[in-house]
Structure 1
Amino acid sequence: MVKHIGNQLKNARTRQEIEIDQLAMLTGLPADTIAAIEAGTLDVQVSTLHKLSEVLRCSFAVGDMSI
């Protein structure tokens, strides 16, 4: 599931042509945290997904739930 969320994040970010550093600045999250989420090596918190979804204007599917 962590890898799936990472893929969703990377796809949403790259579709909008936003670099990781830009997304970090817009969300207030460290760039290495965003990179780790995209790589599927960090278990992401719902509050973090919420910040990312607000900035990217998208939702993330986690099992049967959308954030």
Structure 2
Amino acid sequence: MKIELNGSPHQIEAHKNVEELIADLSLSGEAVAVAINREIVPRHQWQQRQLQLADCVDVVRAIGGG
């Protein structure tokens, strides 16, 4: 199934949820925010939120600095 991930086409398995996508991207446990079709998905909803064909997913990673 094809989605858009951070502006680029990305192929994933059907019936994947946000938590599984984050794990596939090796970002589990990282400080990240996820938006799907411009709506933020709270972390507590990642297991329930199934990805759909043509979803536009943005994953933003927090980077500290100073």
Does TM, normalized by the shorter one, top 0.5? no
TM-score range, shorter chain: 0.3 to 0.5
TM-score, structure 2 normalization: 0.34
Q: Which protein shows a greater Rg?
A: 2
TM-score, structure 1 normalization: 0.34
